[in-house]
């Protein structure tokens, strides 16, 4: 199963790379990018679009990783709390069990 997943990821990455190359070959017109306060030098349209795509992917991954780490830390905290509660419950039940046994 792990090999199939790796193969699918490899094929997907290969398709994205192929798409990027074809997109770059088709869009050779140069433009300047004006970002209100900064004017970036003339580059091909394909470069600006692919850079925006890559930047969006990286930002999305960073946000996802931070959310996952937050959830994992919360999960660990709740697991510790559950273990502590289970130990307290076991300690509270133990005397009752001995008292019922002697009656």
Question: What is the DSSP track for 54-83?
Answer: HHHHHHHHHHHHHHHHHHHHHHHHHHHHHH
Residues 79-96 have pLDDT tens digits of: 999 999 999 999 988 876
Which residue's entry shows tokens 């094929």? 11
Residues 22-68 have pLDDT tens digits of: 988 888 899 998 888 899 899 999 999 989 999 999 999 999 999 99
Containing H/E element for 32?
strand 30-35
Which structure tokens are listed for 40? 């970036």
pTM for the full model? Answer: 0.64
């Amino acid at each position: 199963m792990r090999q199939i997943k790796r193969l699918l990821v490899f094929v997907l990455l290969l398709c994205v790379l192929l798409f990027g190359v074809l997109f770059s070959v088709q869009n050779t017109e140069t433009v300047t990018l004006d970002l209100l306060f900064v004017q970036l030098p003339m580059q091909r349209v394909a470069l600006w679009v692919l850079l925006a795509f890559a930047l969006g992917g990286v930002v999305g991954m960073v946000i996802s990783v931070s959310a996952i780490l937050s959830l994992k830390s919360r999960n660990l905290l709740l697991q510790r709390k559950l273990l502590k509660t289970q130990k307290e419950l076991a300690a509270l039940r133990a005397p009752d069990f001995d008292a019922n046994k002697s009656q």
